């Protein structure tokens, strides 16, 4: 599933080619699952003719800012993505996974694709105060709390720290691999009760979140450019033989999600 770095990378790419340009044509499939709050035909009418003035993101949601309301909000789900084309590079055959197409005034085409239809396209007059976005917690790139404030938040919770890291009402944009990486680099067990963390633990946790997210964003979410020491490179599909830095990786379920961790290095 795309996490904060992937979504931020898409946002930047989309803004770069759409900003200050008019949406001259929109094609959207009539799929109530993807367009679950605004019918596709209505969405097309709302978007056509509007000029993109910028974009913004919180957690795993991002939206385009237009010269009129409402604004389109995108959530990529598990398999959502965007592709950018010119008139010359535009594929002649449109894939079945294409959910929406935006044609811009300069001839740029932006596709929103989602093979499994877990993504969502919605609209809002003010995304930060409406719907799912308004219920998000702290975003590592925008409004992250101080160590003291974070300690107070976690000190009031008895749930395992891994489960809380995945709680979007607290840590917006943090997904499974980021949470595992944060705990690995912080030396914390995913089973630790949040309220058992010391101030020093929380400082390390906070530092790891910011460092990991900022690094991933700085390389446009290209995992091949992540530091080789990261758990990320060793956690995929290796089961009992998975190792990192000479230590065995264990795969367990915490908070309903599979977690990769190294007991010898995390406590």
Instruction: Kindly state whether residues 127 and 37 are assigned to the same domain.
Output: yes
Identify the pLDDT of residue 255.
87
Instruction: Kindly state whether residues 93 and 200 are assigned to the same domain.
Output: no
Contact assessment for residue 173 and residue 140, using Cβ atoms and an 8 Å cutoff: yes
- Would residue 51 count as lying in a domain? yes
- Would residue 231 count as lying in a domain? yes
Instruction: Kindly state whether residues 110 and 204 are assigned to the same domain.
Output: no
Our count of domains for the chain comes to 2
Peptide bond into 99 cis (omega under 30): no
By C-alpha distance, which of 124, 125, 126, 72 is closest to 99?
A: 72
Q: What percent of the chain has pLDDT over 70?
A: 100
- Would residue 140 count as lying in a domain? no
Instruction: Kindly state whether residues 32 and 115 are assigned to the same domain.
Output: yes
Identify the pLDDT of residue 16.
98
At residue 237 the predicted structure's pLDDT band, cuts being 50, 70 and 90, is confident
∠ Cα 244 7 204 (to 5°) = 45
Identify the pLDDT of residue 241.
80
Instruction: Assess whether pLDDT exceeds 80 at residue 198.
Output: yes
Instruction: Kindly state whether residues 10 and 127 are assigned to the same domain.
Output: yes
Estimate to the nearest angstrom the gap between the alpha carbon of 71 and the chain centroid.
19
CA–CA separation, 265 and 208 (whole Å):
15
Region for 263 from its dihedrals, namely left if φ exceeds 0, alpha if ψ lies in -120 to 50, beta otherwise: alpha
DSSP-derived secondary structure letter, 69: S
Query: Which residues belong to the active site?
Result: 2-3, 60
At residue 1 the predicted structure's pLDDT band, cuts being 50, 70 and 90, is confident
CA–CA separation, 265 and 267 (whole Å):
7
Retrieve residue 61's tokens. Answer: 């949601």
Instruction: Kindly state whether residues 129 and 153 are assigned to the same domain.
Output: no
Instruction: Kindly state whether residues 199 and 112 are assigned to the same domain.
Output: no
Instruction: Kindly state whether residues 71 and 180 are assigned to the same domain.
Output: no
By C-alpha distance, which of 7, 247, 45 is closest to 140?
A: 7
Contact assessment for residue 134 and residue 169, using Cβ atoms and an 8 Å cutoff: no
Q: Is the dihedral of CA 85, 96, 223, 214 positive or negative?
A: positive
């Amino acid at each position: 599933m795309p996490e904060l770095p992937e979504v931020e990378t898409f946002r930047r790419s989309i803004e770069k080619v759409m900003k200050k340009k008019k949406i001259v044509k929109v094609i959207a499939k009539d799929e109530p699952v993807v367009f679950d709050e605004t019918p596709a035909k209505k969405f097309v009418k709302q978007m056509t003719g509007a000029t993109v003035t910028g974009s913004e993101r919180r957690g795993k949601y991002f939206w385009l800012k237009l010269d009129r309301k409402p604004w389109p909000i995108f959530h990529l789900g598990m398999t959502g993505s965007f592709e950018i084309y010119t008139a010359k590079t535009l594929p002649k055959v449109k894939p079945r996974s294409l959910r929406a197409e935006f044609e811009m005034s300069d001839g740029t085409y932006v596709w929103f694709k989602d093979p499994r239809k877990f993504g969502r396209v919605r609209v809002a007059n003010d995304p930060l105060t409406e719907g799912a976005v308004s219920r998000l917690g702290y975003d590592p790139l925008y409004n992250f709390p101080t160590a003291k404030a974070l300690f107070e938040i976690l000190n009031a919770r008895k749930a395992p720290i891994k489960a809380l890291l995945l709680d979007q009402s607290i840590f917006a944009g943090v997904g499974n691999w980021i949470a595992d990486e944060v705990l690995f680099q912080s030396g914390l067990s995913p089973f630790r009760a949040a309220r058992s963390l010391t101030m020093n633990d929380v400082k390390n946790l906070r530092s790891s979140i910011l460092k990991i997210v900022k690094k991933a964003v700085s390389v446009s979410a290209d995992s091949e450019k992540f530091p080789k020491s990261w758990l990320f490179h060793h956690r995929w599909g290796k089961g009992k033989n998975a190792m990192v830095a000479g230590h065995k990786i264990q795969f367990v379920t915490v908070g309903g999600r599979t977690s990769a961790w190294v007991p010898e290095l995390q406590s």
